[in-house]
Amino acid sequence: MTATAAASQEELQEHFDATIAHDRRIEPRDWMPEAYRKTLVRQIAQHAHSEIIGMQPEGNWLTRAPSLRRKAILLAKVQDEAGHGMYLYSAAETLGADRADLTQMLIDGRQKYSSIFNYPTLTFADVGVIGWLVDGAAIANQVPLCRSSFGPYARAMVRICKEESFHQRQGFELLMHLMAGTPAQREMVQDATNRWWWPSLMMFGPPDADSPNTQQSMAWRIKRHTNDELRQRYVDMSVPQAAALGVTLPDPELRWNTDREHYDFGEIDWADFKRVVSGQGPCNAERIAHRKAAHDEGEWVREAAVAYAAKQAS
């Protein structure tokens, strides 16, 4: 590198650092360090994949929803998740990533998606509990991302969070109905809560001490809070919601700590988390096989769209 090139590189870095320090946004046209770009593509792609794979657990109940009203609500919710995936792939494309490559990396297991979507949905109460707990965790994690330093990601998150709030309310409303129903319906809600509570806590990622990316992502203001801070916030939020519903969260160690002014909670099974993230969860193989089949079956649509665009251009 020549002395002039090195000097201008330094100036670019200084300008980037100042933009972050002043809490202004980095936009796709701006210079950015390669590591910042890579981190964003990694996080945004994983997030997009999670939204797309996340359609499957609830999609499982679309044909068996107990009423037309519940079916219409669920259909709208699952479609919203597809929309979230699209906004996020678009945000990744502003960084130079290619959506087709990202999809291929998901299918090949070279990119991750959230651990939470590798668990089965055994009853219709799971639909309510996913809305309450999983969308609840998504909101707790994603509201601070609306202030993320990368403009397209932050702006996508604003709309996504509004829709996630609707999702959480629909889940809670469904659960309130079930809890006002028969003992068997209440039991279904309790059983679903027992199964989804701990995996929901894992959504926030490994403990801070074992999180290789948090420190740098916080310095770049991509992330605004650590994994443990957000997990604690979520626990504090969920306990009164469980009480309002009349369900018990499956953690005997859950109790208010007057000194910390937060709820204490039990040890998360991090070995299980690692197993699920590494592909050994109950539904990992099924989720990816389903995604691959949908991708293969959609090939003719993509070909037709390209042919149509070429015809219009000529």
Residue ranges in contact with ligand FAQ by CB under 6 A = 42-43, 46-47, 50-51, 54, 81, 112, 114-115, 130, 134-135, 138, 141-142, 202-206, 211-214, 217, 223, 227, 277
Q: Which residues contact 260 (CB under 8 A, 6 or more apart)?
A: none
Closer of 12 and 146 to ligand FAQ (Cβ):
146
Rounded CA separation 83/310 (Å):
26
Closer of 19 and 141 to ligand FAQ (Cβ):
141
Rounded CA separation 190/254 (Å):
16
β-partners of residue 163 are none
Closer of 66 and 279 to ligand FAQ (Cβ):
279
Shortest distance in whole angstroms from residue 57 CB to ligand FAQ: 7
- Give the sign of the dihedral formed by CA 84, CA 237, CA 151, CA 32: negative
Closer of 42 and 71 to ligand FAQ (Cβ):
42
Shortest distance in whole angstroms from residue 256 CB to ligand FAQ: 26
Shortest distance in whole angstroms from residue 279 CB to ligand FAQ: 11
Closer of 140 and 245 to ligand FAQ (Cβ):
140
Residue 25's region, left for phi above 0, alpha for psi from -120 to 50, else beta, is beta
Residue type, 156: A
Shortest distance in whole angstroms from residue 115 CB to ligand FAQ: 4
Among 247, 268, 119, CA closest to 195: 119
Cα dihedral 25/44/81/99 (nearest 10):
110
Shortest distance in whole angstroms from residue 130 CB to ligand FAQ: 6
How is residue 105 written in tokens? 């990396």
Q: Give the residue closest to ligand FAQ by C-beta.
A: 54
Closer of 148 and 186 to ligand FAQ (Cβ):
148
Among 124, 116, 135, CA closest to 237: 135
Shortest distance in whole angstroms from residue 281 CB to ligand FAQ: 10
Shortest distance in whole angstroms from residue 20 CB to ligand FAQ: 17
Q: Which residues contact 226 (CB under 8 A, 6 or more apart)?
A: 208, 211, 214, 218
User: To which residue do tokens 């994949």 refer?
Assistant: 49
Closer of 31 and 236 to ligand FAQ (Cβ):
236
Rounded CA separation 170/135 (Å):
10
Residue type, 219: A
Closer of 114 and 190 to ligand FAQ (Cβ):
114
Cα–Cα–Cα angle for 82, 296, 39, rounded to 5 degrees: 55
Shortest distance in whole angstroms from residue 46 CB to ligand FAQ: 5
